[in-house]
Structure 1
Amino acid sequence: MPRARLLPLALAVVALGPALAGCGDAGQVMDRADLVNELASRLDGSGELTYSAEYQLPGGGSATIAQAQSPLRSAYIYPDGKLTVTDEATADCRRTGTAMTCTLTAAPSPNNEPAVAAFKDAGAHGLIAPTVVIGLLTAAALDTDATIDQSDTTIAGRPATCVKVRGVRDAGASAFDACITTDGVLGSFAGAVDGSAVDIAMTRFRDTADPDAFALPAGAKVVDKRSGA
């Protein structure tokens, strides 16, 4: 999961706190900064984990986010397809009718940065990348008019910190609810991201990842757009 670009944005909120104090309550600004830094650090740290997290989707569907190390690879699996990121390629697999087509593009460089751009239409698949959630939290922390309420809960047997965010301007989501477990895994998310509804809740967590999660679906048509392919 990407770390180098997003976490510094969150950390920058601390530095901006005193400057923003004139625009609102200084304590509120710092609380907001502390909270987003903690959650961003958790999500950032999860990039060093091997895990599989299964999520419930509206209507009874399910989705999975999986990640493994050495080499680092990740997979976002949803009912009509999957996005995998390995050191060989980014594979965007989508189902049309009964056929599955996988489009291969170059692997991100460095390869610990999944192709978030390919997954920016998360709502269309009902799943959201954790890095997108970090960006939304950062936008909320920088908006002094936004409200952020915190609570604690347990999701799939794991302790989690939750935030209810409302009134964010100039962001992919103006209002959303998100929970992050203590080990940095996205526990749940609900909100409209760039106009598409996302509503997921983790139902199962494992500290292992099935190698098949990162493989292309059997029988899929492969369109290789990598240079030299």
Structure 2
Amino acid sequence: MPAVSISLRVLAGAIISVLTVSGCQTLDDAGRVIGRADLVNDLAARLDQSTELTYSADYQLPGGRSASISQSQDPLRAAYTYPGGKLTVTADATTACDTRAKKPTCTLDPPPATNAKPSLTIFTEMNRRGLVSPPVVIGLLTAAAIDPDAAIRQYDTTVAGRHATCVEVGQLSDAPAAGFDACITSEGALGSFTGTVDGTEIEVALSRYRDAVEKSAFDLPPGAGLIDRRGTPSPSPE
């Protein structure tokens, strides 16, 4: 299984900007010349498109486990459900829930500042539980693009009945990583990912995609205990 580290704080948000990265070129199996910047920008643009969509994506994980990513636009919010936990990002709070115990516990932290992007650190626990987020994948693609020794092969496939463009990355030397494999669907959803993130082997594959989201996708687990760390705003001066 290839190894990957996300210590590179390249793209630090759930709402991602498309990067233009210059770099070397490589050949795919058909002998086509692939510009690293073009390849990264194409996949980054697809992932970025997903931030403008309302959608739900279900994923299959090893051992029969499952995970999901849901996003809506009005209001803008996202939810990530994974084995043993759930993360929601809304205008009111960034909420991380631990669902392993009989009584779930949710910790509410302040939401990202207006027009700011959440730190990649909010996805750390999710990585450890087996689900990788689009912002993390973008950061890894960018790290590969700026590594002159990286070998990048592009190929197409079908995931859950949807066309996807993929990259197989190996021989990384300028980043603490060995390689990874990622596929992005035409809609911009993460189609699949194989690699090791934060020391955890991750293997996810899209099993279902829908252009709609259930309102309950953003609900906290029933009966969850709440730890609110958002604080109380200071009173306005007289």
TM-score (norm 2): 0.84
- Tell me, yes or no, if structure 1 residue 76 matches structure 2 residue 80: yes
CA positional deviation for 1:79: 2.0
**What does residue range 55-70 of structure 1 map to in structure 2 within 5 Å?**
55-70=59-74
Q: Distance in 2 between matches of 1:173 and 1:120?
A: 17
Q: Distance in 2 between matches of 1:91 and 1:77?
A: 12
Q: Which residue of 2 aligns with 1:87?
A: 91
Q: Deviation string for 1:73-102 (max 9, x for gaps)?
A: 000101211000111111100124322100
Of residues 157, 178, 184, the one that matches 2:182 is 178
Return closer, same or farther for 1:103/1:141 CA change in 2, 3 Å cut-off: same
CA positional deviation for 1:122: 3.4
**What does residue range 1-229 of structure 1 map to in structure 2 within 5 Å?**
1-4=14-17, 7=18, 10-11=19-20, 13-14=21-22, 17=23, 31-110=35-114, 113-114=117-118, 116-171=120-175, 173-228=177-232
Aligned length, in residue pairs: 217
Return closer, same or farther for 1:187/1:29 CA change in 2, 3 Å cut-off: same
Identity %: 53
Please tell me whether the aligned partners of residues 154 and 160 of structure 1 are also in contact (alpha carbons under 8 angstroms): yes
AA paired with 1:88?
D
TM-score (norm 1): 0.87
CA positional deviation for 1:37: 0.7
CA positional deviation for 1:32: 1.6
The two structures, once aligned, show a CA RMSD in angstroms of 2.3
CA positional deviation for 1:227: 1.7
CA positional deviation for 1:223: 0.4
CA positional deviation for 1:30: 6.0
CA positional deviation for 1:173: 4.0
For structure 2, which runs of at least 5 residues remain unmatched after alignment?
1-13, 234-238
